[in-house]
Chains A and B, each alone.
Chain A
């Protein structure tokens, strides 16, 4: 009984996957003299089959700029994007794939990135996510980890970014933000205690569009940590620079 239920469950899953594939299956026709199929998704993989003019192929999946296709005879292989664009759809239109360009970036809603750099004199690693309200204005939430010789800190920051020239390939931005930083002294410093401070931040930066969904990002920030200097209850100022990559959606 148990085996039967297990079997039915597995069959359901297999069937679900097959049904999903059938639903997303799309066919195109070769119109150039031939189309080359490689054994893997890369230019170095050998060509093992060609589809002649008039042959139909089914697109199974995509990995970066390579498409896994199946011929009418059931052969499966990989075709590069350039050759895929030499096929037509059932209605006779040339197949075109959308280029992710800089224009798409200015229309983005979400972005995610990782940066590395220096916070005071210590290495800092950070992860952030952003949402764009408009072409010029966005908000970001940053989680960062500062790895110093005598202490390590984590901070969470919320900021607003203004990008006055979103259409430029190298586009500057300005930011203001606030957050909390928690600092933990290294274990061998017996006397020191953990501390937590609120801070505010102001910064400038540059975004450079690289390719596809990628943006290179550099920034320089100034932080004011409120009452961070415990001895005389004064604010502490810290400078940070970092660089990294952003992916947008």
Chain B
């Protein structure tokens, strides 16, 4: 597990810094050449005759951040940010956990009547967590140029969790579709379209609300 965390940290920091380094590419090129010349001197020559399975870097976990939009029924739309983690069971199935935060706006009624607000500011805070099962329905490749191909997958996902909104916790089910685009073999960009359903009886009668999420996430396999 420590090796796994080490590798994850390395990947995250490396990916982030690679981007910043591109802006100072010129001095980097010069330095790299001298370092490259030194490389053979320190290349470790490891004689290994047997395969040690535990030493193979297995990348079944995925962790990342997401940001996007959430349309909260009756309460306008809001920006959304959160965390996403996944475990890939096999080549088609994965388990996913998500935690997200958004903020509800004013209902049309509140805007038009100018009367007392339905919720306090704290009650408009919207947060959710859920656990879902995903199915890679359409794995494939995307061709950006004749030189570059990227692995992708269109997946279906559904699960259950809890939403805290209007000061209460609500049992919530979610379902949706996502598109995973692997930029490198360990860095993925997701587009996620999801409906979150829960019952709310704030306005006098209990009704099922549909809260539509459109979000984008960047995740790292480790």
Which A residues contact B (CB, under 8 angstroms)?
3-4, 6-7, 9-11, 13-17, 19-20, 22-28, 39-45, 59-68, 89-91, 93, 95, 97-98, 114, 116, 122-123, 125, 145, 147, 149, 152, 186-188, 212, 214, 245, 247
Within 8 Å CB of A186, what residues of B?
167-168
B7, CB-defined interface residue at 8 Å: yes
Residues of chain B with a CB closer than 8 A to A65's CB: 90-91
Across the interface, do A11 and B56 meet the contact criterion of CB distance under 8 Å? no
B162 touches A147 (CB 8 A): yes
Known: A39-B149, A45-B141, A125-B162. Contact between A24 and B10, CB under 8 A?
no
Q: Count chain A CB atoms within 10 A of each CB in B14, B35, B167, B185 and give the residue with the most.
A: B185
User: Does the CB pair B44–A22 fall under 8 Å?
Assistant: yes
**Which of B17-25, B104-112, B212-220 contacts the other chain?**
B17-25
Which residues of B lie under 8 Å from residue A245 when comparing CB positions?
95
Indicate if the CB atoms of A90 and B162 lie closer than 8 Å: no
* Contact sample, A vs B, 26 pairs, CB 8 Å cutoff: A7-B28, A7-B31, A10-B17, A10-B28, A13-B13, A14-B14, A20-B7, A26-B48, A26-B55, A27-B48, A40-B139, A42-B91, A60-B57, A61-B185, A62-B58, A63-B88, A89-B49, A89-B50, A95-B51, A97-B53, A98-B53, A145-B162, A147-B171, A186-B167, A186-B168, A214-B89
A7 contacts which of B27, B46, B221 (Cβ < 8 Å)? B27
Q: Please count the residue pairs between chain A and chain B whose beta carbons lie under 8 angstroms apart in the complex.
A: 142
Q: Are B91 and A91 in contact (CB under 8 A)?
A: no
Contacts of B55 in A (CB 8 A): 24, 26
What 12 additional pairs, Cβ within 8 angstroms, besides A7-B24, A125-B160?
Answer: A23-B46, A27-B48, A39-B151, A61-B185, A62-B56, A62-B57, A63-B60, A63-B91, A64-B90, A65-B90, A90-B50, A147-B169
In the complex, how many angstroms separate the beta carbon of A209 from the nearest chain B beta carbon?
Answer: 14
- Most chain B Cβ neighbours within 10 Å, of A9, A23, A61, A90: A61
| Interface residue ranges, B against A (CB under 8 Å) | 6-7, 10-11, 13-14, 17-18, 20-21, 24, 27-28, 31-32, 35, 43-44, 46, 48-53, 55-60, 87-92, 95, 123, 131, 136, 139-141, 149, 151, 160-162, 166-171, 185, 199, 201-202, 221
Contact A17 B10, CB 8 Å, known A10-B18, A61-B56, A63-B59: yes
A9 vs B21: C-alpha distance in the bound complex, in angstroms?
11
Neighbouring A residues of B17 by C-beta, 8 Å:
6, 9-10, 13
Query: Which B residues are in CB contact (< 8 Å) with A60?
Result: 57
Complex-state Cα separation, A158 to B74, whole angstroms = 41
Does A212 contact B89, Cβ atoms closer than 8 Å? Answer: yes
- B166 and A187 contacting across the interface, CB-CB below 8 Å: yes
In the complex with contacts A7-B27, A39-B151, A125-B161, A66-B91 CB distance below 8 A: yes
Which of B50, B87, B123, B169 has the most chain A CB within a 10 Å cutoff? B169
Task: Give the shortest distance, in Å, between A128 (CB) and chain B (any CB).
Answer: 13
In the bound complex, residues from chain A placing their C-beta under 8 Å from that of B6 are: 20
Query: A152 to B168, Cβ gap below 8 A?
Result: yes
Contact, CB under 8 Å: B162 / A11? no
A11 contacts B141, CB within 8 Å?
no
Least CB separation from A150: chain B residue: B168
Name the residue in B18, B46, B48 with the highest tally of chain A Cβ atoms < 10 Å from its Cβ: B48
Q: Which of B14, B44, B48, B151 contacts A90 (CB 8 A)?
A: B48
Instruction: List residues of chain B with CB within 8 A of the CB of A90.
Output: 48-50
Alpha-carbon separation in the docked complex, A40 to B140 (Å):
8
Give A17 to B167 CA distance when docked, in angstroms: 46
